[in-house]
Amino acid sequence: MTDELKPQIRASAAPDTDALNELLRRTIRASYSPFLGVEAVEAYIGSGAVETFTAETVERGSVVTLGDKIAGYGVETGNQVDLLVIDERFHRLGLGTAMLAHLERRLFENFDLLSLESFRDNDAANAFYLGKGWRKIREYREPDYGVEMVELQKDAP
């Protein structure tokens, strides 16, 4: 990989907002439609929730870039990995592993126990996290949207 195509991780900022909204909409459609259904995904995207989330998190998130393209987005909230998405066009390049390691390092500076939530039926994401040393703590139904979720945790090394 040339230096210009090596992944770089940096803080996200307001100028990234449009690219992040596009990345989130594209990734949510590609990754969540198979188990949540197209109608539910389009309703979520149409609600403006993506734009609201980005506006609320862009100043405290991280992006992974390849060249001048934003390929992924990660957000921490308290001791939680609140979001980790990699553009589906860049899956299987190690970007998710790099972003998760980055988020874990930052969080473990202040916390001994980390958590994250994932859709129960998101087999690819759940296998990824379990393969990175996370453990499933519980399954539950998310009260606002009624979807089945899992909570995962990881202890400090």
Q: What is the pTM of this model?
A: 0.91
Give 134-145 pLDDT, tens digit per residue: 999 999 999 887
Neighbour count for residue 31 (Cβ, 10 Å): 19
Give 79-125 pLDDT, tens digit per residue: 999 999 999 899 889 999 999 999 999 999 999 999 999 999 999 99
Q: How many helices (H) and strands (E) does the chain have?
A: 5, 7
Q: pLDDT band at residue 146, thresholds of 50, 70 and 90?
A: confident
As a residue count, the chain comes to 157
As a whole number of angstroms, the distance between CA 147 and CA 144 comes to: 8
